[in-house]
Amino acid sequence: MNDALTDPVLLAFIGGLLISTYFMFIGGFNTTQLLISSLGFAGVGIISSTYTYIIHNKMVVQGTTSFCSSEGIVQCGSVIGDPTWNNLFGIPWGIFGIASFSLLIFLSLSLYLDRHAKWAENFLNYSWVASLAGLPFVILLVAIELTQVEGAPHICPFCTVAHISLVGYVIAIYYLKKNKDTGKWIDQG
Amino acid sequence: MARRRKSLTPKGRDDDVRMIAGFAIGSILTVIMILVVIIAPPATIGPSEGELAPDFSTDAYTGASWENFRLSDTFDYEWDEGEQGEWILIQFIDTDCPYCWTEGEKMSDLYAQWSSDVEFITVAVELSISGHDSNRQEIEAFRDKTNYGTGENDGDGCNSGRNNCIDRPGTVHEWSYVEATSGIMKDWEISGTPFLAILQPDGYVAWNQYQNNGESIGDAMQRVVGGSQ
């Protein structure tokens, strides 16, 4: 358990989440910082999803991987390596994560580059809907980790990073929508 | 002279930044794809020869009890071609299928000849055919050749209820009988039974019955695994 939690890659992901959270709060939720925060969360999400996909491929081909522990409660071997639950319709969850966070990055980056464009409000709404749509999958995956995989309960730390990234993204977009609705879309001061 | 007042509502940029964002995410995805291919290229998974056999984790009857069984636990990932290793013969049956009923004897013969070099696994599926309802008791009875059904063609027992399972041709099967799920049938593209495949010790499909029409399993074992008289 300790091995998994002191993994330098995991610590880097946690650092990314903390920095993204920091950007959310500095400047009193101003729009620029919130957009940077949303990009940070989506960035950590896409990298952690890629990492889980790499672990998945290693587990399938080699049966094991040095990228992640396979013992204890906090581990990913039993979660990402479980043939019944590590995919949806044959597609690994990591691929879904990469595709979903790509969309979120595209939306946030477009807003960051031109928040006053005619399409900005639509893109903000798309970001909100797309990120909210991901939350049921996060709940489903956490439930699978805790109850369904072989030897459950397990917590896959890299999967959890992706889940937290999505939750952080939703919060950032929530405050962005709030700024839009209350006339604070243009940064003050 | 009145000075022109600047508009208070900021206007968007003239260029469409969505294109820039699209290129940026395209570049990120390209880097991701390259990284994945370099570090851990995805395997081609499927039942065809040369593909990695689809893994599954489900319950299996060992003769004493039902235990969790995972196909990949039987793989030797370190195995290289030409090395000694335990090959895997995987058979898909339906306990109510007449061809599977008669193949029981063939499987007993193969086991007697190859059990020291080959791990035998039978996956019991339930085809969507009227009269092919199965359950764990029937799977146990089919494997163990124990009393199940009446021996009359009344729908009760093995072979679509034509026979008592105790009369299955061949001897008691000493290997694990796996209870299939719909996911396993889909992954293995099972449309009918019996179906046989030989896996290399590292889990790659070496022989697929559908791809070798006309070659008997005995000949295939001799050709692919070799080394047995």
ipTM of the complex: 0.90
Cα–Cα distance list, A10 to A52, A116, A126, B22, B199 (Å): 11, 37, 30, 29, 37
Which of A46-55, A71-80, B27-36, B195-204 is predicted least confidently?
Answer: A71-80
* Counted domains in chain A: 1
Q: A187 to chain B: nearest residue by CA?
A: B10
In a domain, A186, yes or no: no
Q: Do A106 and B22 touch (CB under 8 A)?
A: yes
In a domain, B21, yes or no: no
Residue B198: helix, strand or coil by DSSP? strand
| CATH code where residue A15 lies | 1.20.1440.130
Is it the case that residue B1 has pLDDT exceeding 60? no
In a domain, B3, yes or no: no
What local confidence, expressed as pLDDT, does residue A187 receive?
Answer: 77
CA distance, residue A172 to nearest chain B CA (Å): 19
What does the alpha-carbon distance between residue A157 and residue A67 come to, in Å, rounded to a whole number? 12
In a domain, B108, yes or no: yes
* Counted domains in chain B: 1
Cα–Cα distance list, B167 to A180, B8, B115, B127 (Å): 76, 91, 23, 22
Q: Does B6 touch chain A (CB under 8 A)?
A: no
What does the alpha-carbon distance between residue B71 and residue B55 come to, in Å, rounded to a whole number? 6
Is it the case that residue B6 has pLDDT exceeding 70? no
Is it the case that residue B155 has pLDDT exceeding 90? no
What does the alpha-carbon distance between residue A53 and residue A95 come to, in Å, rounded to a whole number? 7
What local confidence, expressed as pLDDT, does residue B15 receive?
Answer: 73
In a domain, A187, yes or no: no
In a domain, A188, yes or no: no
- Give the model confidence (pLDDT) of B171-194 as tens digits: 999 999 999 998 999 999 998 999
pLDDT tens track, chain A, 189 positions: 446 678 899 999 999 999 999 999 887 889 999 999 999 999 999 999 999 999 999 999 988 888 887 778 888 888 898 888 888 888 999 999 999 999 999 999 999 999 999 999 999 999 999 999 999 999 999 999 999 888 889 999 999 999 999 999 999 999 999 999 998 888 765
Interface of A with B (CB under 8 A): 46, 50, 53-55, 57-58, 60-64, 82-84, 90, 98, 102, 105-106, 109-110, 113-114, 116-120, 150, 186
| CATH code where residue B217 lies | 3.40.30.10
Which of A59-73, B61-75, B102-116, B161-175 is predicted least confidently?
Answer: A59-73
Identity of the residue numbered A162: A
- Give the model confidence (pLDDT) of B122-131 as tens digits: 999 998 887 7
What local confidence, expressed as pLDDT, does residue B7 receive?
Answer: 56
In a domain, B197, yes or no: yes
Average pLDDT over residues B200-205: 96
Q: Do A114 and B54 touch (CB under 8 A)?
A: no
What local confidence, expressed as pLDDT, does residue A1 receive?
Answer: 45
Q: Do B13 and A117 touch (CB under 8 A)?
A: yes
What does the alpha-carbon distance between residue A161 and residue B30 come to, in Å, rounded to a whole number? 22
Residue B92's domain comprises: 57-224
